[in-house]
Structure 1
Amino acid sequence: MATPPPTGPLVTRDGIAAGLRLLGATPGETLLVHSSLNSLGWVNGGAVAVVQGLLDALGPHGTLVVPAQSADLSDPALWGNPPVPEQWWDRIRATMPPYDPRTTPTRGVGVIPETVRTWPGALRSAHPQTSFAAVGPRAREITEGHAPDCRLGERSPLARPEELGARVLLLGAGYDACTAFHLAEYRVPGPLVRVGRPAPGGGWETVTEVSITSEPFGELGRDFERARPVVRGEVGAADARLFPVADAVAYAEEWLRARRSPARGFPHPRD
């Protein structure tokens, strides 16, 4: 059977940069980007061209930040995509390679963040499960000091873009991918959980962390977009949204506080 031709549109590095500028991205700013390569169309050069286009739009004084999560460095008892046999769990825990920011690949965040992670000059934060990678003059300021017991809170790279006046770019990604909302979760009382992961020196460790979930973020994002200024447009074939990190965090704090149960951690459903 013949392979069907691509449906397009044809997207190029310069087209991505032009689309971002038209959306409102400005040279020298810091962007926290959540992305979907497939949503853009047929990209000549793939993820490399997308990263080049992002850096072109930001210029030499801008900084690109992406989530570089490694969710597979987690307790196999919680795996579901796919699950593994229970009789394997202890052996997996005992032999799982520890996190190394230089070599541990990203998982679950797409090919564009993985490309940023390996980009010349990229820096990556130290958390073994919820790291961020950054390229640009503010990369070290943003990625350093990621506390091992703070996945996405005040001592994570999420707090730095908020302080620096950075913006979130959703590039073909939905609000369910918006990590800025997680920072708000840390500011609203919620339950603590025990999180298992490989220890830095080998073996297994368990730490106490704030319970987090992106389950309500779709509804939260829709409400946020109705209430706060969000720039919307298209880059290639992808829907794109641009808004300040600080606006997203502040709105999410209010939204979650009105709905979140301190004992359960999930927003109450609307009446």
Structure 2
Amino acid sequence: MSTPPPTGPLVTRETLAAQLRELGVRSGETLLVHSSLSSLGWVCGGAVTVVRGLLDALGPDGTLVVPTQSADLSDPSVWSNPPVPEEWWDTIRATMPEYDPLVTPSLGVGVIPETVRTWPGAVRSAHPQTSFAAVGPRARHLTDGHATDCRLGERSPLARLEALDARVLLLGAGYDACTCFHLAEYRIPSPLVKVGRPGPAGWEVVTEVSITSERFDELGHDFERDRPVVRGTAGAADVRLFPLADAVAYAQRWLAIHRPRAEEI
């Protein structure tokens, strides 16, 4: 049986950078990118080409930021995809490696963030489950000081991105992946939860604000309807570009109305 030809379009570093500039990505800006490599088409050079294209569009004075989450550093009792036998839980908790920003791989955010994480000059924030990696002149400022008991709130890179007037680029990703909406969850009454993870002294449990992407697709639909969002394509991928602060402010109002949640542990 013959192998079918690849699905296009053909994407190169040059075509991607040009399309991003046409959509309005500005040289020198700070950009939080959520991405899907498979959505782009046939990319010559894969994720490395995409990162180079993004950095070309941003220029030497721009800063690229991506989520590099490691949700597998969590309590095995909450794992569902797949679950593990209960008799394994204690052993997993006792032997799970501690988070190391230089070594711990990202999980569930795609190959492009993992490529950024290992890029020359990249720096990564300290939260063991919801870190961000960045490349560029503002990378250190954005990633330093990520509190280990604040996943995506005021002491995370999201708040610093907001203060720097960063923008969000959804490159083939949907609003369900839009992490800045979580910053709004910290600004409305939200429940608190106990979160287990490996720590410097062994297994630890911390209290965190509960976060969920539930209804983020609906939130994004309404945000796009009501606020200015640049829409277009890069390769075969749908692209959306918008100010992070605008999205957070809209989400704060929207979530308070459409997804009320009691404040409780």
- In the other structure, the counterpart of 2:39 is 39
Aligned to 2:184: 184
Q: Which residue of 1 aligns with 2:49?
A: 49
Give the fraction of aligned pairs with identical amino acids, expressed as a percent: 78
For 1:27, give the aligned amino acid: S
Distance in 2 separating the partners of 1:194 and 1:164 = 31
1:152 is aligned to 152
CA offsets, 1:5-59, max 9 Å, x none? 1011110000110010010001000000000000000000000000000000000
Corresponding residue number in structure 1 for 2:228: 229
Secondary structure of 1:212's counterpart equals coil
The alignment of Structure 1 onto Structure 2 pairs a total of residues equal to 264
Cα distance in structure 1, aligned partners of 2:240 and 2:101: 29
2-side partners of 1:47 and 1:255: how far apart?
34
* 3-state DSSP of counterpart to 1:198: strand
Query: Is it true that 1:123 corresponds to 2:153 in the alignment?
Result: no
Match of 2:30 in 1: 30
**What does residue 243 of structure 1 align with?**
242
Residue equivalent to 2:137: 137
**For 1:110-153, what per-residue CA distance to the aligned partner results, in whole angstroms no more than 9, with x for missing partners?**
00000000000000000000000000000000000000100000
State the partner residue of 1:269.
none
Task: Return the offset for 1:264.
Answer: 6.8
TM-score after normalising by structure 2: 0.98
| Displacement after TM superposition at 1:215 (Å) | 1.1
1:168 matches 2:164 = no
Q: What is the letter of the counterpart of residue 212 of structure 1? A: I
The alignment yields a C-alpha RMSD, in angstroms, of 1.0
Counterpart contact for 2:166–2:243, Cα < 8 Å: yes
Is the partner of 2:157 in helix, strand or coil?
Answer: coil
Per the TM alignment, residue 257 of structure 1 is displaced from its structure 2 partner at its CA by: 1.3
Q: Following the alignment from structure 1 to structure 2, what is the Cα–Cα distance between the partners of residues 200 and 227?
A: 45
Q: Supply the distance in 1 between the matched residues of 2:146 and 2:2 (Cα, whole angstroms).
A: 49
Task: Output the amino acid matched with 1:3.
Answer: T
For 1:103 and 1:120, the matched residues in 2 are separated by: 14
Supply the distance in 1 between the matched residues of 2:263 and 2:80 (Cα, whole angstroms).
Answer: 22
Q: Which residue of 1 is the match for residue 217 of structure 2?
A: 218
State the AA in 2 paired with 1:239: D
Alignment correspondent of 1:11: 11
Per-residue CA deviations over 1:211-251 (Å, capped at 9, x if unaligned) read 00001100000000000000000000000000000000000
**Letter of the structure 1 residue corresponding to residue 243 of structure 2:** P
1:111 aligns with 2:111: yes
1:164-220 per-position Cα deviation (integer Å, ceiling 9, x unaligned): 01100000000000001000000001110000000124x200000000000110000
- For 1:264 and 1:188, locate their aligned partners in 2 and report how far apart those are by CA, in whole Å: 10
Mind listing any 5+ residue stretches in structure 2 that lack a counterpart? none
State how far apart, in whole Å, the 2-side matches of 1:158 and 1:264 are. Answer: 22
How far has the Cα of 1:258 moved from its partner?
Answer: 1.4
- 1:195 maps to what in 2? 195
3-state SS in 1 of match to 2:204:
strand
1:256 maps to which residue?
255
Partner of 2:223: helix, strand, or coil?
Answer: helix
Tell me if the contact between 2:31 and 2:64 (Cα under 8 Å) persists in the aligned partners.
yes
Question: Which 4+ residue blocks in structure 1 deviate beyond 2 angstroms?
Answer: 259-262
AA matched with 2:155: R
> Which structure 1 residue ranges, 5 or more long, are not aligned?
266-271
Letter in 2 for 1:260: R
